[in-house]
Chain A
């Protein structure tokens, strides 16, 4: 059996190892034009900040690939002919396969701001190794930078630029930082923290125009409010999109909407072709889902490989979770935390004297989500409580079990319990029947 995998990111590489574990004799080829070896995209920022070398980004020793007998090709796929089970590579080489996995990941989304196309130099994303190269090349000639986009990649790029002592303006279109994940209080806390690092964070600011000098290097960004921010580097971090453009021109393109459309067992519209990771799009009952997280890519890579091996696989979206770090503030999120979702209400507590907070979201008597900032939590407890449909009383009472702080550093939850009692008392000033002690 010949397996070909396009993309050596976490989805592709996980799939390759999964295939190898089950089929010791199969021929497995991983193709990537981005890097010779699988590297950790999530650590790009640490390479940019001199905390790691490029080589340190690779999660496996290079000899592992030889030991596992995985063939690595540094090449770009230019054509796919699914009817002849054939890939054509940029080097001119042809590669036949029996089963193919598309795991091409995503690239930074490029907006259509006026003037952006004229700025040939100084505009960066922060997603690929090429992006990192570009950032590093531009860093010495940059004094001021503008980063657009209030998500995770945006704040990472901002942190890197602050490390390199650039004057950074951070433009966020929404009224606060990362409204998709953080409610008002958390967003304000994180924004304050970002500002404390000398970043000029501007909320409610959309880009109106990009200005370039005669040489084509970006020189300023004009916002919709009319302000102009001079910069020699413009970082665009407004999100990522599936890297599927190249697939539209091949001989036999699979069905593509936002990403490569796959079934719940990762099959594309083409025979013997599967897709997984950031580039895959699921359509369940008219709802489109593209998961673009490290965790989901790894999970999908493994499951897609099992589907390719013939296992019955039915991918269902698991309980969402994510984690992040905003400069020094750690963040753990599980379940439904979007405050705009109807029927939810949440208990929130800012821990006094700390840049830390706890938010527990409830719907119809059951806890559905957690948003925790500034201390460490084991999300597997949250997942369990959500699955078991525990109520707020239970969860607050047992919250301690999910703490994951360092030794001697366990955050005191007494303020959380006190706030919770007050919050409940305000919700139900006259409880029907006081139960237990302390509830009068």
Chain B
């Protein structure tokens, strides 16, 4: 039941797909369209002494993460995991994703974002970038995508990136926190996610491969080069501009904060696959779940956490970004994020001896 009073009504309406939520969403979509396709913000940026609209946008984005971060730090101040994670997210945004690229430009270096990697930052792995950027940047880029992604993914799950480093996740977990419950938990949305995210990943991998092939034989096959150029601009428009920007952030108030991360991000897809084979899991305390559903409700990735918790099943889902909010909201402390190595012998025994209650049942559902 909504609390009484105008302020409470507004807060509820904004966070429960009310009229104001639709208005806000329309505003956000309009903002992104104007930002991407007009020079309006360029003029605005110059008016306040900034070099381009992207600096202006960077300031806005960092501000959202810092202010949202302060709100989140206060809200979850009793939870050390949330405090540490949020502090890291704020640091990465302000330093790695905003200040350093600005400073690099200032000293006439390429504008480089050390917190983004291929395949999320698609253009870091194109022949054009690789042969233009200084060697150090290219080495870092390869190290990040080929070493950091799989290694940290195996040890800590995809969370090291998706909810600790990445700016998309950063915005979702700070300013987006009041909207996190809007992500659909239906099994249909899960089905959609599995198709869409791996489709984008496949397209992304194909495009990267084609770029190198066409670059290699560009003198012999100009038609292919032309085709790949077209392909790349379609990808940049559909995936980068539309899905990650307009849809991903613009629809926050309607579809929750992780529309992009859950359904489209190729980096999340890749990390999710790594995570399935890694050590990260959510451990469920046996027979303590009361099926209240707060975990599912507040999962921003749309995972029906309750279905695992009430069945006593510890689990690893490819989409889980390890934000830890399910464990935070659980009123019975049933869930815990873990990077398991070897289980304690006692724990092993408990896992195997446990009465064969509930487990068989849910397997059927």
A→B interface (CB under 8 Å): 10, 14, 17-18, 20-21, 40, 42-43, 46-52, 56-61, 63-64, 67-68, 135-136, 139-140, 163-165, 294-295, 298-299, 302, 321, 323-325, 328, 330, 332, 376-381, 384, 401, 404-409
Q: A18-B361, A56-B296, A377-B333 are in contact. List 12 more A-B contacts (CB 8 A).
A: A14-B358, A17-B365, A20-B364, A135-B1, A136-B1, A294-B291, A295-B288, A299-B357, A323-B288, A330-B331, A407-B80, A407-B337
Q: Complex: how many Å from CA A59 to CA B82? A: 27
Most chain B CB within 10 A, of A298, A321, A377, is at A298
* A52/B81 in contact, CB under 8 A: no
> Which residues of chain A have C-beta atoms less than 8 A from B296's C-beta?
56
How distant is B87 from chain A, measured CB to nearest CB, in Å? 11
Do the beta carbons of A60 and B361 come within 8 Å of each other?
A: no
Assess whether B279 is interfacial by the CB under 8 Å rule: no
Are B3 and A51 closer than 8 Å at their CB atoms? no
Ordered nearest first, which 10 A-B pairs have the shortest CB separation? A409-B80, A43-B292, A376-B333, A408-B80, A42-B290, A59-B291, A325-B331, A406-B81, A40-B291, A323-B332
Name the distance in Å between B305's Cβ and chain A's nearest Cβ. Answer: 11
Name 14 A/B residue pairs within 8 A (Cβ), A-sorted. A21-B364, A50-B3, A58-B293, A59-B291, A59-B307, A60-B307, A136-B1, A302-B361, A323-B288, A330-B331, A378-B285, A404-B333, A405-B336, A406-B80
Contacting residues, chain A, for B302 (C-beta < 8 A): none
- Chain B residue nearest to A377 (CB atoms) is B333
CA–CA, A124 and B291, complex, Å: 24
Contact partner, B78, options A321, A324, A328, Cβ 8 Å: A328
Residue of B nearest to A403 (CB): B336
B344: interface (CB < 8 Å):
yes
- Does B294 contact A163, Cβ atoms closer than 8 Å? no
B4 at the interface (CB under 8 A from A): yes
Whole-angstrom distance between the Cβ of A4 and the nearest chain B Cβ: 19
Residues of A within 8 A of B281 (CB): none
Chain B residues contacting A163 (CB-CB under 8 Å) are 3
Chain B residues with CB under 8 Å of A60's CB are: 307, 365
What total count of A-B pairs have CB within 8 Å?
136
A25 to B217 CA separation, bound complex (whole angstroms): 64
- How many angstroms from the CA of A52 to the CA of B364 in the assembled complex? 27
Choose one: A56, A294, A325; the contact of B293 (CB below 8 Å): A56
Task: Identify B292's interface contact among A46, A164, A377, CB under 8 A.
Answer: A46
Residue of A nearest to B361 (CB): A17
Residues from chain A with Cβ under 8 Å of B337 in the complex: 406-407
Determine the chain B residues whose CB is within 8 A of the CB of A377 once the complex forms.
333
Q: Is B84's beta carbon under 8 Å from chain A?
A: yes
CB distance A50 to B290 under 8 Å? no
A17 CA / B360 CA spacing, docked (Å): 10
In the bound complex, do residue B332 and residue A406 qualify as a contact, i.e. CB atoms below 8 Å apart? Answer: no
Q: Is the CB of B292 within 8 A of A42?
A: yes
Contact of B333 among A18, A68, A330, A407 (CB under 8 A): A330
B344 touches A407 (CB 8 A): no
Which B residues touch A325, using CB under 8 A? 331-332
CA distance A193 to B79 in the complex (A): 18
If A21-B364, A408-B80 touch, whether A61 touches B187 (CB-CB below 8 Å) is yes
Whether B53 sits at the interface, judged by CB under 8 Å, is no
Shortest CB-to-CB span from A167 to chain B, Å, is: 14
* B258 CB within 8 Å of chain A: no
- Binary A-proximity of B319-342 (CB < 8 A = 1, otherwise 0): 000001001100111001110000
Are A384 and B1 in contact, with the CB atoms below 8 A?
Answer: no
Residue of A nearest to B4 (CB): A140
User: Residue B1 contacts which of A42, A50, A57 (CB distance < 8 angstroms)?
Assistant: A50
**Residue B194 CB within 8 A of the other chain:** no
Contact A56 B361 (CB under 8 A): no
Q: How far is the CB of B282 from chain A (nearest CB, A)?
A: 12
> Is B177 at the interface (CB under 8 A from chain A)?
no
- Our pick among A48, A298, A380 for the contact of B286 (Cβ within 8 Å) is A380
Q: Say how far A40's CB is from chain B's closest CB, in angstroms.
A: 4
Residue B276 CB within 8 A of the other chain: no
Contacts of B294 in A (CB 8 A): 43, 46, 51-52
Task: Please measure, in the bound complex, the distance between the C-alpha atom of A20 and the C-alpha atom of B360, giving whole angstroms.
Answer: 11
A61 CA to B290 CA in the complex, in Å?
17
User: Known interface pairs A136-B1, A380-B350, A401-B344. Does A406 touch B327 (Cβ–Cβ under 8 Å)?
Assistant: yes
Residue contact B2 to A50, C-beta cutoff 8 Å:
yes
Shortest beta-carbon distance, A60 to chain B, in Å?
A: 7
> Which residues of A sit under 8 angstroms from B317, Cβ to Cβ?
none
What's the least CB distance linking A121 to chain B, in Å? 18
Question: B286 contacts which chain A residues (CB < 8 A)?
Answer: 380
* Closest CB in chain B relative to A320 CB, distance in Å: 12
Shortest B198–chain A CB gap in Å is 23
Q: Are A332 and B333 within 8 A (Cβ)? A: yes
Least CB separation from A410: chain B residue: B80
Q: In whole angstroms, what is the CA distance A57 to B293 when docked?
A: 6
Q: Give B178-231 interface residues, CB cut-off 8 Å to A.
A: 186-187
Tell me if B262 counts as interface (CB < 8 A to partner A): no
The complex places the Cα of A61 from the Cα of B306 at a distance, in Å, of 11
Kindly list chain B residues whose C-beta atoms are within 8 Å of the C-beta of A401. 344, 346
Q: When A64-B365, A140-B4, A165-B3 are in contact, do A302 and B293 touch as well, CB less than 8 Å? A: no
B38 within 8 Å of A (CB atoms)? no
Chain A: CB-nearest residue to B82:
A406
The smallest C-beta distance from B179 to any residue of chain A, in angstroms, reads 14
Whether B310 is near chain A, meaning CB under 8 Å from some CB there, is yes
The answer, among A56, A298, A324, for a CB contact under 8 Å with B358, is: A298
Q: Are B357 and A68 in contact (CB under 8 A)?
A: no
For A49, list chain B residues within 8 Å (CB). 1
Rounded to whole angstroms, the CA-CA distance of A48 and B365 in the bound complex is 29
Q: How far is the CA of A57 from the CA of B175 in the complex (A)?
A: 26
Q: Which residues of chain A are within 8 angstroms of B291 by Cβ–Cβ distance?
A: 10, 40, 42-43, 59, 294
A384 touches B364 (CB 8 A): no
**CB within 8 Å of A: which B23-49 residues:** none
Using CB atoms, name the residue of chain A closest to B309: A59
Chain A min CB distance to B213 (Å): 44
Binary contact readout B57-82 vs A (1 if CB under 8 angstroms, 0 otherwise): 00000000000000000000011111
Chain B residues within 8 Å of A332, by CB: 333
